[in-house]
Structure 1
Amino acid sequence: MNFHLNNIPVRSVKPREKGITMVMDKGLSIRQVEDFLSINEPHTDIVKLGWATSYVTPNLESKLDVYRHANVPFYFGGTLFESFVVRNQFDDYRKILDHYKMEYAEVSDGSIDIPHDEKCEYIRKLSEQVTVISEVGSKDDEKIIAPYRWIELIEAEMQAGSWKVIAEARESGSVGIYRESGEVRQGLIDEILTRIPYESIIFEAPLKAQQVWFIKLLGANVNLGNIAPAEVIPLETIRLGLRGDTFSHFL
């Protein structure tokens, strides 16, 4: 930090197991990635190349090299995984991971229906190759999953080999753990946390109000995902009680 303040929450240190900030890259250019990392690298734990943007991103290898040189991990969005699976190309997907020397992969079923036993088998197979981050929740705002089922799914995926489980919200923050308005489904979160340690979950929270809610509930070191590149430093100030939304919370 640039100067000293008393009574600031203690942040975990990279590489973090909790307090993770997962950033959503929806198509940054190589120059934009360089500029982004010049300021945000200390506060960025992992980057998701959103949904299947990697399929159409020019100079992809060169872009990934920028992240590599900054020691910032990255992975392809779960929709790319689903795009391969629905076309019976899982083995091709594994080759893609090897080709790009990926260290992480996301396993999701937000756009297609995969029997959960089958999804867990994908997690097991991929966990022998990379670190797996799986995702629970649907991108369909009309598909509601009961709290007990969220718990069952998360527990099964952790047992299958997931490092962390993402609680779905999309980049809009209006499905999954949120209502269409963006309001947190508080009862759902409360029930999940009765069985699942918060450190095991990355809560997608693209909106400031959602970030504030989780930080007030679980503290500065809650895992938050789908953070826009321009919001990484603002989020860090929220985590530390240096923005009006949490200014009094940590005093």
Structure 2
Amino acid sequence: MNYELKNIPVRTEKPRTTGFTMAMDKGLSLRATEDFVDSCSDFVDIVKLGWATSYVTKNLAEKIAVYREAGIPVYLGGTLFEAFIVRDQFDDYRRVLDKYGLEYCEVSDGSISLNHDRKCEYISTLAKDVTVLSEVGSKDAAKIIPPYKWIEQMQTELDAGAWKVIGEAREGGNVGLFRDSGEVRQGLVEEILTQIPEERIIWEAPIKAQQVWFIKLLGTNVNLGNISPTEIIPLETIRLGLRGDTFDHFIGEIKL
């Protein structure tokens, strides 16, 4: 940090497994990627190339190399995995991972109907070669999954070999964990936490109010995902109680 302040929450250090920030790259140019890494690499633990943007992104190999040089792993969005699966191209998907030297991948079923046992088989197969993040929840706002089913699916996917499970929210933060207004489904989150260890979950929270809610509930070192590149440093200040939203939450009983 550039100067000293007292009573700042203690952040975990990279490589982190808690206090994890997953950034969502929705198609940054190579130059923008370089600028992003220059300003934010200390605060980014992994980058997701959103949904299937990697299919149309220019200079994909060079972009991945920029992230790799900065020590930031990259993975392809779960929707791309689903696009391969629905076309019966699982082996082709694995070849893409090999082609770009990717060490992480996402398994999801938010846009397709996929038998859950089959999803767990994909997780188990991929986990032999790469680190798997599995996503739970639907991208269809009309599809409400009861809490017991979220818990059951998260647990079975962890048992199948997933490193962490991701709570679905999309890049808009208006499905899955959230109502269409963006409000957190508090009862769902609290029930999930009765059964699934918080360090094994990444909560997609692209909207500031959602990030604040999770930080107030679970502390500075909660795992958060789908963070826009322009919101990485603002999020870090929220984690540290250096933005109005969490200023009083972390400052304690300091008297002026």
Considering the TM-score relative to the shorter chain, is it more than 0.5?
yes
Flag structure 1 segments of 5+ consecutive residues without an equivalent: none
The alpha carbon displacement at 1:128 in A equals 0.5
Q: How does 1:144-223 map to 2 (within 5 A)?
A: 144-223=144-223
Alignment partners' CA distance in 2, 1:40 and 1:62: 18
1:96 corresponding residue in structure 2:
96
- What is the letter of the counterpart of residue 36 of structure 1? F
Alignment partners' CA distance in 2, 1:92 and 1:36: 31
Q: TM-score, normalised by structure 2?
A: 0.97
Alignment partners' CA distance in 2, 1:130 and 1:232: 26
Alignment partners' CA distance in 2, 1:60 and 1:21: 22
1:69 corresponding residue in structure 2:
69
> RMSD over aligned Cα, in angstroms?
0.5
Q: TM-score, normalised by structure 1?
A: 0.99
Alignment partners' CA distance in 2, 1:80 and 1:245: 35
Q: How does 1:29-40 map to 2 (within 5 A)?
A: 29-40=29-40
The alpha carbon displacement at 1:141 in A equals 0.1
Percent identity of equivalent pairs: 69
Task: Determine helix, strand or coil for the equivalent of 2:174.
Answer: coil
1:53 corresponding residue in structure 2:
53
2:12 corresponding residue in structure 1:
12
Q: How does 1:116-127 map to 2 (within 5 A)?
A: 116-127=116-127
The alpha carbon displacement at 1:59 in A equals 1.2
Alignment partners' CA distance in 1, 2:194 and 2:113: 27
2:254 corresponding residue in structure 1:
none
Q: How does 1:106-117 map to 2 (within 5 A)?
A: 106-117=106-117
Task: Determine helix, strand or coil for the equivalent of 2:249.
Answer: coil
Q: Deviations over 1:165-222 (max 9, x none)?
A: 0000000000000000000000000100001111110000000000000000000000
1:138 corresponding residue in structure 2:
138
Flag structure 2 segments of 5+ consecutive residues without an equivalent: 252-256
- What is the letter of the counterpart of residue 92 of structure 1? D
Alignment partners' CA distance in 2, 1:95 and 1:73: 18
- What is the letter of the counterpart of residue 239 of structure 1? R
1:28 corresponding residue in structure 2:
28
1:79 corresponding residue in structure 2:
79
Q: Which stretches of structure 1, 4 residues or longer, exceed 2 Å deviation after superposition?
A: none
The alpha carbon displacement at 1:137 in A equals 0.2
**Aligned pairs, number:** 251
Task: Determine helix, strand or coil for the equivalent of 1:175.
Answer: coil
